[in-house]
Chains A and B, each alone.
Chain A
Amino acid sequence: MRLLPAERRDWVRAVWAESYEVPSGHRRLAWLAGGLAVIAMGALTAGRIGRWLLFAVAAAFTAWATWPGSPDRFATVIARVDLITVVVLLAGLPWLVRRFLGSASDSRLARFLRVGGYGAILAYTVAKARLVPAGPDPTGPALQFAWFAEILLLVVVAGYVAAVLAVTARRSWVAPATLAIGTGAGVALGVVMYAVAPLGLSKNATDPWLPGSAIDPVVALAWILLLGGPIAAAVLAGRRYRGPVDPHEIDKARVWQCGVAGILATGVGALIVAVLGTGTVALMPRAAWLRHWLYPGQHLLAAAVHSRELAASNSGGAYGLILIAFPVIGLLLGIFSSAAAIDSSAPPPGGGGPDGPEPVPDPPGSGRLADAGAAR
């Protein structure tokens, strides 16, 4: 019943109520089966069954790619804990968010962001599980630290899932323009950051596009996008926001929009670079085409590949730091920039106030004729 849109539930209740009038036995069962058909049709209309099936298939694939391995190995245990936690989060948090903010928004961007966010988190889970363990299983304090880092990462992932669900919900406070601006800035940041460091932040990684230069234009662009992107997104989102009429309320709402735009500009970027980077590191020893792309013109021996894979895996934790640090940077820069957005959208001296409706143009020809046509 819950899979059904609210407006269709009455119809299912109607079928159920009428079943009391139908002679018992197979005729009543047939009548109720018709009711189930109504449920299926309504759910398919809303696309919910399709989305749940898609999620189930993606989760099954993630489990297939993540689960194998000896349970005696620490990396296998961590991978399984990751898998179970992530699937529970992805399946359970929507129910929680729906209680407060409603179901998913109908906008294409919101749906794209939800599907993309879910796909990215599942892909990150697979990629992280497929990384080559950097050394022997940790023991003692190292083991405790590893578990602490793991739990911290899962909390961060939960935060990402909740954020994606919250900003794309029907009753979200985030304006559509803010969502679009922040997401766009985040995609640009993620792609450029990945181009700069496809194998993490390790100095051992050979960058195909930046041979031997620390001040390459792409590196400069990455820094500009990391620090300037949230500011630009926040100012733009704040200026475009048209919310409550009360000037005090709208200022507060603009600060929120600026902060969210900043978080989106860095959070989306962090997710993209973490998924692509971790995936690249995990795929490197298995995919020759990727090694040719990462190390153009070099013919690496298996030992060299393994060595570089280990080095890259060691720097895989950097992506965890990126996932934590980027949204904090974005939030701070976004809120900091809100002052500029509020100043620039202050009403002009001598009044101002909210924009009024557009003047209605005169009807073509005679207004009377137009009115008469409307009345008909």
Chain B
Amino acid sequence: MRSRAKFSAQTLLVLAALCEEPSHWRHGYALAMRTGLKSGTLYPILIRLAERGLVEACWQQEPSPGRPRRHLYRLTAVGLASAMEALASAPGPAARPSAPAPRAARAGRPAVDPVTG
């Protein structure tokens, strides 16, 4: 029997935001706006999720002029499965995601392109 990962309420908020359109790459600031979390809370969560292989990260390849490259995030396949499982059993409706895009959608162009951001 597979053990189910336990996530905090804040982590569930991040997972829910990433689940909305799982094929999309998200910026940290967009996630902060969506979840209402401060950077000091959001980034440790992203670090933990990335270390557990639930979130993948990459650098924007073509940054805007005069701006540094931005870091982008999205759920891995394992992360999506874990997130859906955790959100389905979450008590509050706040963290419940809308239905994710089908996995096949990942083959398409993401809404935030890591090249251009």
Which residues of A come within 8 Å of B, CB atoms? 8, 10-11, 13-18, 20-22, 30-35, 37-38, 41-42
Contact = CB atoms under 8 A, between A and B. Distances in A.
Interface in B55-84: 57, 59, 67-71
20 contacts: A8-B47, A10-B57, A10-B59, A11-B43, A11-B46, A13-B71, A14-B57, A15-B28, A16-B68, A17-B68, A17-B70, A18-B29, A20-B68, A21-B29, A22-B29, A31-B29, A34-B38, A35-B39, A37-B44, A38-B43
B44 A18 contact: no
B70 A34 contact: no
Given A38-B47, A41-B44, A18 B67 contact: no
Question: Size range of the interface on B?
Answer: 20 to 34
Contacts of B43: 11, 14-15, 34-35, 38
Nearest to A14: B71
Contacts of B70: 14, 17-18, 21
A31 B68 contact: no
A-side interface mostly: helix
Interface of B: 27-29, 32, 38-44, 46-47, 57, 59, 67-71
Contact of A11 (B38, B47, B67): B47
Contact of B28 (A8, A14, A32, A42): A14
B66 to A, nearest CB: 9
Contacts, number: 64
A34 B42 contact: yes
Contacts of A15: 28, 39, 43
Nearest to B40: A34
B78 to A, nearest CB: 16
Contacts of B59: 10
B45 to A, nearest CB: 11
Contacts of A42: 47
A21 B47 contact: no
B38 to A, nearest CB: 5
A27 to B, nearest CB: 10
Contacts of B57: 10, 14
Given A10-B57, A18-B28, A22-B29, 4 more contacts: A14-B28, A15-B43, A17-B71, A21-B70
